[in-house]
């Protein structure tokens, strides 16, 4: 069932989103060559809880951590690992979900560790722009397929990257994962019609190689998703509301860059 949020509920979700945005600002300065991924987890959880939020991933289907931390060819759901030190040139994706007084928000971001290769730098830039191209389609009267098609055309057709199919965006609130499902591929004019009050995530996962991933996740931890061909992957994710004034990002980190979405 798709729930439509009131302006009051959307504003509450914006406040929980501000905690995630602040956490990501903190991580920009924290993530450097040599950092242990466990420090990313502990600092992120401290930030969330220190600002009155609840790290909602903890306990979700048995997950134990405030963040997922996915490195290089890990697409999503990577575990924070003690002793895993990031190296110069790595790419790391950090994802979290925060609750604040019952309002939920969700956002992931990719970070270059030190100096990454031009190939990885381009992958990150294309993935981030793809998210925004999807957001631009999130207007009343459009359909879910319009979002996915905009992302797929830019990433796969224009840049020949792999646009992951198995993991997609979704509705948010009152729980972490709600209807509608929001694929990052699709046909324009197809799928659920967007209505005022919907709140969704757009979170493309884009690979340098094939779009295929190992969905049995790994024999090691049961969570981590990797690319099937070993290629590296990037992801960006915002939570946004569908409004009469257009899509409104609730997890914005940059009020200048995101001015038209606020």
Q: Where are the domains of the chain?
A: 7-261
Annotated binding site: 77, 95, 106, 170, 177, 203, 237
Are 183 and 165 contacting, i.e. CB atoms less than 8 angstroms apart? yes
Query: What's domain 7-261's architecture?
Result: Alpha-Beta Complex (3.90)
Opening angle at CA 125, ends 211 and 42, nearest 5: 85
User: Does an H or E element contain 240, and which?
Assistant: strand 238-243
Gap between the Cα atoms of 4 and 197, Å rounded: 4
Annotated binding site for substrate: 77, 177
pLDDT in tens, 111-154: 999 999 999 999 999 999 999 999 999 999 999 999 999 999 99
pLDDT in tens, 93-114: 999 999 999 999 999 999 999 9
Annotated binding site for a divalent metal cation: 95, 106, 170, 203, 237
CB neighbours (10 Å) of residue 20?
31
Helix residue ranges per DSSP H, 5-137:
7-30, 37-50, 118-136
Reading the block at residue 64, the tokens are 């134990």
Helix residue ranges per DSSP H, 97-248:
118-136, 144-152
Are 152 and 186 contacting, i.e. CB atoms less than 8 angstroms apart? yes
């Amino acid at each position: 069932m798709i729930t439509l949020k009131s302006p009051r509920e959307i504003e509450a979700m914006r406040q929980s989103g501000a905690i995630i945005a602040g956490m990501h600002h903190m991580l920009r300065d924290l993530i450097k060559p040599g950092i242990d991924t466990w420090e990313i987890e502990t600092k992120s959880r401290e930030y969330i809880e220190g600002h009155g939020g609840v790290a909602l991933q903890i306990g979700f289907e048995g997950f134990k951590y405030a963040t997922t931390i996915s490195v290089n060819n890990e697409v999503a759901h990577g575990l924070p690992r003690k002793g895993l030190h990031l190296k110069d040139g790595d790419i790391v994706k950090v994802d979290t979900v925060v609750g604040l007084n019952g309002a939920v928000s969700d956002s992931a971001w990719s970070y270059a560790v030190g100096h990454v290769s031009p190939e990885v730098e381009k992958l990150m830039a294309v993935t981030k722009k793809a998210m925004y191209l999807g957001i631009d389609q999130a207007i009343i009267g459009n359909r879910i397929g319009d979002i996915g098609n905009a992302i797929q055309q830019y990433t796969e057709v224009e840049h020949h990257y792999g646009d992951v199919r198995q993991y997609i965006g979704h509705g948010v609130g009152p729980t972490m994962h709600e209807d509608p499902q929001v694929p990052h591929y699709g046909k324009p004019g197809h799928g659920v019609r967007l209505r005022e009050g919907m709140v969704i995530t757009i979170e493309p996962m884009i690979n340098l190689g094939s779009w295929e991933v190992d969905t049995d996740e790994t024999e090691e931890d049961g969570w981590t998703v990797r690319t099937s061909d070993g290629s590296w992957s990037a992801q960006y994710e915002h939570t946004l509301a569908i409004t009469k004034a257009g899509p409104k990002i609730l997890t914005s980190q940059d009020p200048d860059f995101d001015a038209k979405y606020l």
